[in-house]
Amino acid sequence: MRYIEPHAHMVSRVTGDYTAMVVAGCRAVCEPAFWAGFDRGSVEGFRDYFSQLTEHEPKRAARFGLPHFTWLCINSKESENVKLADEVLAMIPEFLDRPNVLGIGEIGLNKNSRNEIAVFEKHIDLAARREQMILVHTPHLEDKLKGTRLIVDILKNDRRIVPGRVLIDHVEEHTAGLALDAGFWAGITLYPESKCTPPRAIDMVEVFGAERLWLNCACDWGNSDPLAVPKTALEMRRRGHSEEAIDNLIFGNPLRFLSQTPKFSIG
């Protein structure tokens, strides 16, 4: 089995996780910028984080033979501080040309607040001006549907945005169609706690088709499983999906989406 882990917060993980992922067939890992579990105090905290994501974590991953890529932004939780968000947005261009930066992400909404929406729109503008791909986080609270609708509308209203270069992540049964019908890619995140179990994920693949879907573990500092993607592949096998279909979903799809930027290369 081979796969690409397209959404993992490796700075929060131990080296044994890297070993386990590589042994399971992982060929590349992508790490969107996210919330650290606490609000950072200043723009310099983000500068250090972006240095970690573009300089230090790729070296750490390389020790396990794993290509490491990243996406940059200020996440929606910290976007409530609009002054800080503006400072971070002004700094991001310094890092965009670094070799492992794939685009802007994971931007999006958490509580669907006005400040979050304003900062989301500023990220979209930055991505459009710099021709960057976009990775979007959708809210985990009960207003996921409303948040996903807001996100899809904002993206569709900006004519500079090419839907096929945007992935809307953390979709569930009631939001996957919203993203896919508008031409975006969609990500299914396998969380131990919110119970998007392997059977539920593969049900979604069977309902919506695998054309523009990827699977990810989104492992971070919380309760999460860095091996959720290969474990879900085993569920596909159990249901009788072909090895070709499994490879297409967990390796071919992320490869196709991410290869739209020439920076994504796994040799």
Binding range to Zn ion, per CB under 5 A, among 33-41, 56-64, 239-247, 248-256? 33-41
Q: Tell me, by CB under 5 A, how many residues bind Zn ion.
A: 2
Say which residue the tokens 């993203």 belong to.
179
CB of 32 to Zn ion, least distance (A): 5
Task: Output 246 or 264, the one with its CB closest to Zn ion.
Answer: 264
Binding test (CB under 5 A) with Zn ion, winner from 18, 34, 69, 191 = 34
Binding test (CB under 5 A) with Zn ion, winner from 124, 126, 180, 218 = 218
* Cα dihedral 106, 109, 113, 118 sign: positive
CB of 106 to Zn ion, least distance (A): 5
Secondary structure class of 146 (helix, strand, coil): helix
Q: Which two tokens stand for residue 140?
A: 């985990």
Binding of residue 250 to Zn ion (CB under 5 A): no
Task: Output 71 or 208, the one with its CB closest to Zn ion.
Answer: 71
Side-by-side strand order, sheet with 3-5? 3-5, 26-32, 68-72, 101-108, 133-137, 166-169, 185-189, 213-216
Task: Output 172 or 246, the one with its CB closest to Zn ion.
Answer: 172
Task: Output 76 or 232, the one with its CB closest to Zn ion.
Answer: 76
Residue 140: strand pairing partners: none
Phi and psi at 248, nearest 5°, equal: -65, -40
Q: Do the Cβ atoms of 198 and 231 come closer than 8 Å?
A: yes
Task: Output 151 or 218, the one with its CB closest to Zn ion.
Answer: 218
Pick from 252, 173, 178: nearest CA to 214: 252
CB of 129 to Zn ion, least distance (A): 24
Binding range to Zn ion, per CB under 5 A, among 28-36, 84-92, 108-116, 230-238? 28-36
**Footprint of Zn ion (CB under 5 A):** 34, 218
